[in-house]
Amino acid sequence: MITLRELTKRYGEKTVVDALTCDVASGQVTGFLGPNGAGKSTTMRMTVGLDHPQAGEVLVGGRRYAELRHPLREVGALLDAKALHPGRSAGKHLTAMARSNGIAISRVEEVLATVGLSDVAGKRAGQFSLGMGQRLGIAGALLGDPGTLMFDEPVNGLDPDGVRWVRQLMRSLATEGRTVFVSSHLMSEMQLTADHLIVIGKGKLLADAPVAEFIAGNSRTTVAVRVPADGERSKLDERLRAEGGLTHPGEPDELVVDGVDVTRVGDLVHELGIRVHGLAERTASLEQAYMELTASSVEYGVSA
Amino acid sequence: MTTTEVRGGGLAGAVAAEWTKFWSVRATWWCLIAGAALMLGYSTLSGIAQRFDDDPQAANTIALGGGFYLTQFAVIALATLFVTSEYAGGIRSTLLWTPVRERVVPAKAAILLPVLFAYGAVLSGAGMALSGAVKDGHGLPTTLEAGFTTASGMAGYFALLGLLCTGVGWALRSAAGTLVTVIVLLVPLPLIVASLGLPELVSYFPGIAGVNAMVEAGQPNPITMAPAPYAPWAGLLICAAWAAAALVTGAAVLRRRDA
């Protein structure tokens, strides 16, 4: 269980995390979503005491991270796979880590086997590929067998097999009753992994809901109708607006309608005696819902 | 969650982790080997020179020269890299493992202190033995007391010099900055202060104080050619004060900054 209360981080004039209040519950995978620069990594760094908040607090199991006697046995975090000495071997890195928190040294071999790095335990970490580095970071997070796990963009640099493996790992960790908090800027990834979503933009909380509820609340259905004749199309457009629908042009010859359902659009077409080449219902993907939700809060957006 | 309860963690855990980290990078071994090779090479060449020289020296003075002119730079590099290599990325791991930052600074110091003390004692002994054997009765004889003073002084000086470097390293977080700062503090700065008309202050800089700790009371310091105004142990006390000031500053910087 991770508890954020009015958590705030400013760098000079810029507020990166803005009075963030939410809970990350145990026994499920909580996806932490937001565009690049939304404040996800900063929030995670504050959770483990690497960054100091200006206001508010973040607690793990009711206590500040720095107050934990053996932090690695309670919280496992993969924040930055490059956060290690490139000249030290993977095995020695994990051995030092285990010693720091009084974790049995036998765990080092166990977690290396879990992430599939047993054969390269003696290899210097700086020579690891991005994917291997990511696996080593995950091994470190698992080392102390903690009840809370945090992963910042864990699938970066992994091949498709690795991505599937991480998904399964996170699901099984949650099934064991642990708190699993995973950040991503990809909705599609979270759709496959998470039970619950916390969405932030420009440091502010935008949504905090179960995935199913988020989908239901944010996806919209539109109707696309193709009318080849320009005059007929504008006639239909006029009529749909009168019905309370919002319309905008889609593909060439196409009209996209929001707020009038597909049967009604069909009836209106028939009533007006218009020649139609296509009539289809379109459900916005979760990805689109997420894009719309965060559209106004994109930090490094490209102006259209 | 099912981990069987094992003791550890806290400061003891931080020290244990730093011990593993210290010995598991190549830089440690390169610095120790380079420092030893410099001492042994200097002792051999100086011993040979004594057979022809009109400037007779004792074996302990030769070892002192090897330590101050050469080996101490390997010690500075070793101690500096032990801290500043963290800022190539590892600091985030270190602080995840040991979130109470006040423990990280003494944990590294606790590794360097005994290792560099032993290193200084062994190398000064080896330098004296080698140069004594090579010069084969030429130059000046070494008394047991003089030899002991040089060995204990070099042991203490290397250990405290290492701590000074870690303190500056924590404060500046850069290898280049730390090396320049420490080396300027050891050699050019005392010379500048002396030329500005304050020669009595020279003995209170860490490098000169360290050499004073290696020379018997009343004997001239071979670097400044003047006897120290205090006993050898006081030289180490001065080095300890510099190291403590650097460590306190470094710890304050580490505590306040985001990692």
Q: What is the DSSP string of B177-222?
A: HHHHHHHHHHTHHHHHHHHTT-GGGGGGSHHHHHHHHHS-TTSBPT
Q: Kindly list the strands in the beta sheet with A179-184, ordered across the sheet, starting from the edge strand earlier in the chain.
A: A75-78, A148-152, A179-184, A28-33, A196-201, A204-210
What amino acid occupies position A48?
A: V
pLDDT at position A304 is 39
- Number of C-beta neighbours around residue A96 at 10 A: 26
Residue B124 has pLDDT above 90, yes or no: yes
**CB-based contact, B122 to chain A, within 8 Å:** no
Give the tokens for residue B57: 């020296």
Per-residue model confidence as pLDDT tens digits over A265-275: 999 999 999 99
CB contact under 8 A, B89 and A176: no
Give, to the nearest 10 degrees, the angle between helix B144-172 and helix B206-214: 160
d(C-alpha B6, C-alpha A167), whole Å: 31
DSSP secondary structure code for residue B66 in this structure: I
What is chain A's pLDDT, residue by residue, as a tens digit (304 residues)? Answer: 999 999 999 998 899 999 999 999 999 999 999 888 889 999 999 999 999 999 999 999 999 999 999 999 999 999 988 889 999 999 999 999 999 999 999 999 999 999 999 999 999 999 999 999 999 999 999 999 999 999 999 988 889 999 999 999 999 999 999 999 999 888 888 888 999 999 998 899 999 999 888 877 776 778 999 999 999 999 999 999 998 888 888 888 899 998 888 999 999 999 999 999 999 988 766 677 777 777 766 655 554 3
d(C-alpha A20, C-alpha A8), whole Å: 7
Give, to the nearest 10 degrees, the angle between helix A130-142 and helix A90-100: 20
Cβ pair A34, A185 in contact under 8 A: yes
Calculate the CA A111 to chain-centre distance.
25
Least confident of A246-260, B180-194, B241-255: A246-260
**CB-based contact, B93 to chain A, within 8 Å:** yes
Q: Where are the alpha helices (DSSP H) in chain A?
A: 40-47, 71-74, 90-100, 106-114, 130-142, 160-175, 187-193, 211-218, 230-242, 262-272, 286-294
At residue A185's C-alpha, the angle toward residues A179 and A188, to 5°, is 85
The residue to which tokens 């620069």 are assigned: A37
- Number of C-beta neighbours around residue A283 at 10 A: 10
Shortest alpha-carbon distance between residue B35 and chain A (Å):
21
What distance, in Å, lies between the first and last C-alpha atoms of chain A? 40
Per-residue model confidence as pLDDT tens digits over B43-72: 999 999 999 877 899 999 999 999 999 999
d(C-alpha B31, C-alpha B10), whole Å: 29
Q: Kindly list the strands in the beta sheet with A246-249, ordered across the sheet, starting from the edge strand earlier in the chain.
A: A246-249, A254-258, A221-226, A278-283
* % of chain B beyond a pLDDT of 90: 86
Among residues A163, A160, A166, A157, which one has the least CA distance to residue A139? A166
pLDDT at position B3 is 46
**CB-based contact, B108 to chain A, within 8 Å:** no
At residue B178's C-alpha, the angle toward residues B9 and B111, to 5°, is 30
pLDDT at position A297 is 66
Among residues A185, A192, A80, which one has the least CA distance to residue A138? A80
Shortest alpha-carbon distance between residue B29 and chain A (Å):
12
User: Assign residue A243 a region: left if phi > 0, alpha if psi is -120 to 50, beta otherwise?
Assistant: alpha
pLDDT at position A220 is 72
pLDDT at position A284 is 67
Shortest alpha-carbon distance between residue B170 and chain A (Å):
16
Among residues A151, A195, A197, which one has the least CA distance to residue A41? A151
Per-residue model confidence as pLDDT tens digits over B135-145: 988 989 999 99
d(C-alpha B137, C-alpha B126), whole Å: 17
User: Assign residue B148 a region: left if phi > 0, alpha if psi is -120 to 50, beta otherwise?
Assistant: alpha
CB contact under 8 A, B259 and A104: no
Chain A hits for B1, CB-CB cut-off 8 Å, are 145-147, 176-178
Residue B4 has pLDDT above 60, yes or no: no
For chain A positions 60-99, those within 8 Å of chain B (CB to CB) are 65-66, 68-73, 77, 79-80, 82-89, 92-93, 95-97, 99
| Beta-bridge partner residues of A149 | A76, A180
Residue B2 has pLDDT above 60, yes or no: no
What amino acid occupies position B12?
A: A
**pLDDT, average across residues B15-37:** 97
Least confident of A208-217, A261-270, B16-25, B156-165: A208-217
The DSSP H or E segment spanning B237 is helix B232-256
Length of chain B (residues)? 259
Rg (CA), chain A: 24
CA dist A130 → A77, A135, A153, B157, B240 (Å)? 17, 9, 12, 43, 44
What amino acid occupies position B220?
A: P
Length of chain A (residues)? 304
Calculate the CA B234 to chain-centre distance.
16
At residue B246's C-alpha, the angle toward residues B240 and B250, to 5°, is 140
What distance, in Å, lies between the first and last C-alpha atoms of chain B? 28
Kindly provide the ipTM of the predicted complex, given to two decimals.
0.90
pLDDT at position A56 is 96
Shortest alpha-carbon distance between residue A160 and chain B (Å):
27
pTM for the model stands at 0.86
The DSSP H or E segment spanning B59 is helix B59-65
| Beta-bridge partner residues of A247 | A257
Per-residue model confidence as pLDDT tens digits over A32-82: 998 888 899 999 999 999 999 999 999 999 999 999 999 999 999 999 888
**CB-based contact, B255 to chain A, within 8 Å:** no
Cβ pair B109, B247 in contact under 8 A: yes
Q: How many CB pairs under 8 A join A and B?
A: 116
